[in-house]
Amino acid sequence: MNPKVASASSGATPGAAHSGDSYLPEHGNGGYRVRHYDLDLDYRVVSNRLAGRADITAVALQSLSRFTLDLGRLRVQDVRVDGRPAKYLHRPDKLQIKPERPIGAGDTFRVEIRYAGKPVPISGRWGELGWEELTDGVLVASQPNGSPSWFPCDDQPGAKATFRVSVTTPFPYTVLVTGDPVLQRRGAGSTTWVYERREPTSPYLMSVQIGRYELVDLAVGDPVQRAAIPPALRRNAAHDFGRHGQIMSALQRLFGPYPFREYVVVVADDDLDDPVEAQGMAVFGRNHVDGRRTHERLVVHELAHQWFGNSLTVADWRHIWLNEGFATYAEWLWSGVCGDLPTDALAARWYAWVAARPRNVVVADPGVDRMFDPLVYKRGALAVHALRKRVGDESFFALLRSWAAEHQHATVTTEQFRLHAQRFAREPLDDLFAAWLDSPALPPPPR
């Protein structure tokens, strides 16, 4: 039984058990900021058994008598703050901790949490998110709120931190974690894989993939581009991802240098509804690999998220169009680069698609139920295209490159983007953004 948390004392105040996010305030916490997560995980695939230790370094933003972390339905075994046993209360999705002594404002403190159990995804309006069993392995896809399914965290998009993740699994499974590989150690029937994520990273962008994979190179040169592929899909994957080096080069010309050291594509040996991005990684289902490049636009989309969504992460979920509109527009740009339909033609096609649908989404604030609505993606991309037409190609691509560079590994908002874009325009852009982002009415097509 978990010890109950005592009341506040010594003039310190409790941290908030919620974030300031306008869409998912129940996820995330207040009163402190995590700087680093050190996760040591032992996972048994057959029994779906996870044993974990989370060593979290944080800074108090106020004097704290207690604080909370997000954690799903795993069993907490022990909690220590700065090495001393702490009282705690774990209810589904929240772990409330009372340290032996209050933490002073501005102090750096460490929280060590030992936990175990059978991880299950977080259920909600978007289905099941987070740690999910595959037919033979594991997939972790946490956007927007699945991270607490496998580790205690401050689960809000703007709460970026660095990570070190160690995962031990039975041989012959391969483990991919969002981060740079630093160690692989064989034991008696098991292998330990250690990864470091040195760039500040939102918890939802951390991922673990476990399966019987072959590791192959996608391209030669810098940055490293590799893939984890089920052996039976290797031939089809070689064709479907055969232009990955060209796609990477094209996006770097358009958006600026790739923001991480490595990019990893994982193809799960199960069907997935949609591919998903993580920091420095994208995960596809076997149904996305058919040997005909049917889904190459999705390859481009997920890679573009490394700039727009992962390096530049939304400060609040209402700004989701800054992720999805830009990644969708990258699909259209690649189509023009590779000799398929020109970007203008795709913009016209999707404008007609949007025009045939109800005018009931405000791109800059679609509401929590519509954050992943296709209209946010397509109208968001059309807003980007309208901006390009207004300022001209030279200013537009300079704008994108400086946007990615100036906010690298930070958080962004729609208002920041409006102000940034105005620097590259000779005339006010207020009318353009008001029409495309702030109103459900559909403006005339961009020309």
Residues marked active site are found at 302, 377
Whole-Å CA distances, 430 to 342, 399, 436: 28, 16, 10
Q: Does 324 appear as a known binding residue?
A: yes
Token pair, residue 360, equals 């009931």
Find the distance separating the first CA and the last CA of the chain, reported in whole Å.
65
C-beta neighbour count of 40 within 10 angstroms: 17
- Inter-residue contact 265 to 228 (CB < 8 Å): yes
CB 155 within 8 A of CB 203: yes
Taking a C-beta distance cutoff of 8 angstroms, is the pair 5, 86 a contact?
Answer: no
**Secondary structure (DSSP) of 286-327:** GGG--SS-TTHHHHHHHHHTTTBTTTEEESSGGGTHHHHHHH
Contact 365, 322 (CB under 8 A): no
Q: Is 36 flagged in the annotation as binding?
A: no
DSSP state string for 162-220? EEEEEEEEETT-EEEESSEEEEEEE-SSEEEEEEEEEEEE-GGG--EEEES-EEEEEES
Instruction: Tell the burial category of 329 from Cβ atoms under 10 Å away from its Cβ (0-12, 13-18, 19+).
Output: buried
301 is in an annotated binding site: yes
Distance CA 8, CA 286 (A): 52
Q: Spell out the residues 6+ positions from residue 380 whose beta carbon is closer than 8 angstroms to its own.
A: 321, 322, 324, 325, 326, 328, 329, 363
Residue ranges at the known binding site for Zn(2+): 301, 305, 324
